Amino acid sequence: MKITSKLNLLVTIVCLSFTGLVPAADHPAASVDADTALAKLKEGNLRFATSDASQSKPTAARRKETAEAQHPFAVIVGCADSRIPPELVFDQNLGDLFVIRTAGNLADDHGLGSVEYAVEHLGARLIVVLGHTRCGAVTAALESDHAPGHVQSLVRDIQPAVKAIKGKPGDALAAAITENARQVAAQIKTKAVLGDLAKEVRIVFAIYDLDTGKIEWPKD
Ligand SMILES: [Zn+2]
């Protein structure tokens, strides 16, 4: 190979790396970029909230397609509440979302490890912390800083949000729910170890309305 050909090849590889077409180091390429992922979630929630039928019913074909490998385009840190399965409220299918759920949509070390895994090894670039109206875990934390058994760990980790909204006007529960989701998103930003991929990753929070099925996307 002539020197000029080698140089051209090198320039091509460098350019492809910068445009994200070649994964950095040993990481897989992004499933889709963060902004595209967010648009897909917003479109999916609109379908869920405004139409009677899901467009993303799991099928045998989709199961077969995803059996060998997964490329979820977003990570959802959601509440374990039975009324808010992320795949349903975002109208997505098998293999689309990497979901972490606890009561109160918290991110402990297991959650953070799961976020890191989804970004580094599965190509997800969008992380959504999804709170919701009338959340039981946030209600419990608002009522008391003590709870029996391991519920205490949930109440303890929601307390910073409860303290942050104290004395502010308006609905205390709604404010605590939004503040809790905002704080969990901020914690993931600070604590998740994402290395070079951090610059490609977008972390946002959102609130699901149990009455309308719609998701609000507050600004930070
Ligand atoms: Zn909840």
169-199 confidence digits (pLDDT tens): 999 999 999 999 999 999 999 999 999 999 9
Confidence (pLDDT) at 154: 98
Distance 9 CA to ligand 1 centre (A): 53
CB < 8 Å & 24+ apart, contacts of 88-91? 88/48, 88/54, 89/45, 89/48, 89/208, 89/213, 89/215, 90/41, 90/44, 90/45, 90/48, 91/44, 91/45, 91/47, 91/48, 91/54, 91/55, 91/56
pLDDT band (50, 70, 90) for residue 133: very high
Average pLDDT, integer, range 128-150: 97
Distance 80 CA to ligand 1 centre (A): 6
pLDDT higher at 106 or 56:
106
- Between CA 15 and CA 18, with CA 17 as vertex, the angle to 5 degrees is 65
Confidence (pLDDT) at 3: 45
User: pLDDT for 23-47, tens place per residue?
Assistant: 445 788 888 999 999 999 999 999 9
Spatial contact of 128 and 41, defined as CB atoms under 8 Å apart: yes
Residue 144 Cα distances to 158, 170, 181, angstroms: 11, 19, 19
pTM given for the model: 0.87
Average pLDDT, integer, range 40-58: 89
Distance 49 CA to ligand 1 centre (A): 19
Confidence (pLDDT) at 25: 57
Distance 161 CA to ligand 1 centre (A): 14
Distance 173 CA to ligand 1 centre (A): 12
Q: Is the pLDDT of residue 50 over 80?
A: yes
